[in-house]
């Protein structure tokens, strides 16, 4: 797999399935993100979400992947091997904790997997002036979600995202903010919003494709 993806390459929203936990979350979210790419950018994209098993070699054909869930994350041997090889060879994984809870089962188990694969503390807070916050739309920090503001989950507003960086680029972007649920609605409802909350999704895609 190439280490970078040209910005004019065709984008495919690829979801990773894995044997533990529940990976098939927020089913309307990918279409909503794709609609935002259509609305705001000229990036060509596949109109259908693709699901690839983490233990499949097909993952190495997908420069962008999404992984989420609420429950235990316990990769098996092949899943661990593929995840590590994928990100070390230029892949980008956006991981979103649907529990929006730093003490929840998904967060603790996923972070433990990253520690085992990349070393203790490999997931680090990224500064709010990181290029991912201004590569398309401008943000001074990661946008909040209604789930945080309503006090669900751990009752915290997470003013940061975490990442594993390899060779100066984000390889694993990790959120406890539950963006998946935030963006999981019929795209036609965006016209009722004072501000389109999917704009940060566009930044994530643009960064992943251009970094």
Report which DSSP code applies to 104.
S
Phi-psi region of 126 (alpha: psi -120 to 50; beta: other; left: phi over 0): beta
| Per-residue pLDDT band at 152 (split at 50, 70, 90) | low
Report yes or no on whether pTM surpasses 0.85: yes
Cα–Cα distance for residue pair 79/56, rounded to 1 Å: 8
Angle at 112 between CA 72 and CA 50, to 5 degrees: 55
Residues 51-91: tens digit of each pLDDT: 999 999 999 999 999 999 999 999 999 999 999 999 999 99
Cα–Cα distance for residue pair 163/170, rounded to 1 Å: 6
Residue predicted with more confidence, 102 or 57: 57
Cα–Cα distance for residue pair 75/209, rounded to 1 Å: 26
Q: What are the structural domains of the chain?
A: 14-210 (3.40.50.12140)
Cα–Cα distance for residue pair 65/35, rounded to 1 Å: 18
């Amino acid at each position: 797999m190439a280490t970078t993806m040209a910005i004019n390459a065709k984008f495919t929203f690829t979801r990773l399935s894995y044997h533990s936990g529940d990976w098939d979350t927020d089913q309307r979210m990918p279409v909503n993100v794709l609609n935002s790419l259509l609305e705001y950018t000229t990036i060509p994209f596949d109109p259908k979400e693709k699901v690839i098993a983490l233990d499949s070699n097909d993952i190495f054909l997908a420069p962008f992947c999404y992984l989420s869930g609420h429950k235990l994350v316990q990769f098996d041997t092949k899943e661990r091997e593929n995840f590590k090889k994928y990100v070390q060879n230029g892949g980008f994984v956006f991981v979103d904790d649907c529990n929006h809870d730093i003490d929840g089962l998904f967060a603790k188990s996923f972070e433990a997997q990253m520690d085992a694969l990349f070393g203790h503390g490999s997931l680090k807070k990224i500064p709010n002036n990181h290029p991912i916050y201004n590569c398309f739309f401008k943000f001074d920090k990661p946008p909040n979600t209604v789930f945080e503001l309503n006090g669900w989950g751990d009752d915290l507003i997470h003013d940061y995202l975490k990442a594993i960086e390899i060779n100066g680029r984000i390889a694993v972007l990790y959120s406890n903010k539950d963006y998946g649920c935030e963006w999981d609605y019929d795209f036609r409802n965006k016209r009722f919003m004072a501000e389109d909350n999917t704009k940060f999704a566009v930044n994530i895609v643009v960064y992943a494709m251009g970094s």
